[in-house]
Structure 1
Amino acid sequence: MESPAERPARSGDASPADSTVTSDTIPISHLARAAYCPRQYYYAERDGDHGPPRDVAAVRDLAFEYEANRTATDEELRRLPIAVSPGRYRSNLASLAERDDYDRLAAPAVREAFLRGRDCHGVAHKVLGLGGETGRADGHRGAEERNGSDGRDDAAPPTPTVVSPGDPPPQGVWEPQRVRAVAVAKALAWEREREIPRALVEYPAHGVVRSVRLTTRNRGAYRRTLWTVRSMRGVPSRIREESKCDACDYRTTCGTKTRSLKTLLGLG
């Protein structure tokens, strides 16, 4: 079950470049929203309501301040939009600093990278291990689609990251961020013409970073969401997990709270 704090409706996952209309590719932030609730995505698309709230930028900035905040005082940390106590936050950052990729996480060479894949386009908030390089020009086919080549080279593959302003689950990542992580990895793979085996999801308000590998399960969630968006022709069916509705801006007009007794009994 996804946390209400992770709802794409007001999670700040969208970026201006994410909503750019690019051929027939789909904005990556739209996929995250559809993964949370197809019906919510439908209303947001209908109303043109894909922009992030104002307070998201301040939370996202925390992902670029890990090193400074490791030694910040309680008073300094309380002025920041963190979601845990100052002591817990410093402890989480201390654990984060033990990662092999911490230096690149704390001071990434590539920030806010716009990626254009075969099926989707959008922003990777960081790309680790890419240096100052830029993606291939538009129109090149990606590693996953080239016959007889997996696009590997001698260097370790770069790792894209997605910065989420919400709360992490006890383990792993919420499905909208999982779908988004796969999407940015596949878009980067398409541009770099090589396999990208994983992406990271950062929860900077907690000082927590989680890995999303491109497993069969995670790729399947991405493909199902892509199919849902592309095949949508009208208002999607209501979701069963109505706990998501409490945090949704469309809850008063969506109709999820007005099911008939016949429907609730599974007879409709």
Structure 2
Amino acid sequence: MPTFTAVSQAAYCPRQLYYARRDGDDGPSREERRRQRLAFRYDELRDADDAQLDAEPTALAPSAYRAALERLAERDDWAALCDPAGTHVSLAGKDCRGRVHKLVDTADGRVPSFVSPGAPPERGVWEPQQVRAVAAAKALSWERGEATSHALVEYPAYGAVRTVRLSTRAKAAYRRALRAVRSLDGPPPRLRNTARCRACSFRDRCGVKTRSMRSLLRR
């Protein structure tokens, strides 16, 4: 059965999934794990002084980070984010399985939360994270026998939490990624000179040649 990680990688680039399967995926780095652990310390960090925050792997200056947590504390699910119903929980749905960092009780019921070590986009979440969140929400729905309205993606280094609704568009992106996982039987075509290639940890094995902005402007 495909995993949440696999459908997320397929949404990012099917070729990335191919190399992750072939060579193994190292998972998050030590620094990324440190950033993820911030999501389990919101209450503590909200009251931390500048010196304490300077020692943490946050992406913002201490004053900006405290302000971000203050905004986060205005959410209805703040208490549940700080004290989740479950952590590092395995879920198995009809089509997909994996682990979520948190199960959070909200006004709409219990929802899964994925903790990202990276930066959030200006609005919403990145598509691979959206696909992973939908996969987790559908698996939770399958286990509970009732619909899960949404999922969460946390960006603790930035003090941000985004909601992923199970919209028609989001579910369609999930189904495309699931089909890509199921149909993978060899290396898919390479992407060409995209930002995704430059950020991919498998780019040296993939053989994609990325060009600098200067070289592109010379054409």
| Shared fold, TM over 0.5 | yes
- Structure 1: 4+ residue segments shifted above 4 A: none
Specify the alignment match of 2:37 in structure 1: 61
Report 1:21-100 matches (<5 A).
25-100=1-76
Q: Which amino acid aligns with 1:39?
A: R
- 1:121-140 pair list within 5 angstroms: 121-129=97-105
**Shift of the alpha carbon at 1:253?**
2.8
Map 1:85-234 to 2 at 5 A.
Answer: 85-129=61-105, 156-234=108-186
Please say if 1:250 is aligned against 2:202. yes
Q: Distance in 1 between matches of 2:83 and 2:137?
A: 20
Residue 241 of structure 1: how far off its partner (Å): 5.9
User: Following TM superposition, by how much is the alpha carbon of 1:257 offset from its aligned partner in structure 2, in angstroms?
Assistant: 1.2
Aligned length: 211
Q: TM-score, normalised by structure 1?
A: 0.75
Aligned counterparts of 2:46 and 2:21: Cα–Cα separation in 1 = 40
- 1:11 — aligned with what? none
The Cα shift of 1:55 comes to 2.4
Unaligned runs of 5+ in 2: 212-219
The letter of the residue matching 1:127 is: L
Partner letter of residue 199 of structure 2?
A: A
Q: Return the offset for 1:249.
A: 2.4
Report if the CA contact (8 A) 1:157-1:195 is conserved: no
Residue 118 of structure 1 deviates from its aligned partner by: 0.8
Aligned residues of 1:242 and 1:256 also touching (Cα < 8 A)? no
Instruction: Quote the offset at 1:69 in angstroms.
Output: 0.7
Query: Partners in 2 of 1:191 and 1:214 — Cα distance?
Result: 17
Q: CA RMSD in A?
A: 1.7
TM-score relative to the length of structure 2? 0.91
Taking the aligned partners of 2:60 and 2:115, their CA distance within structure 1 comes to 17
Identity %: 52
- Shift in Å, 1:109: 2.3
Q: Residues 225, 50 of structure 1: CA spacing in aligned structure 2 closer, same or farther, 3 A cutoff?
A: farther
Inter-CA distance 231–95: structure 2 relative to 1 (3 Å threshold): same
Q: Is the 8 A contact 1:28 1:183 kept in 2?
A: yes
Q: Which has the larger share of helix?
A: 2
The match for 2:216 is none
Contact 2:137–2:148 (8 Å) recurs in 1 = yes
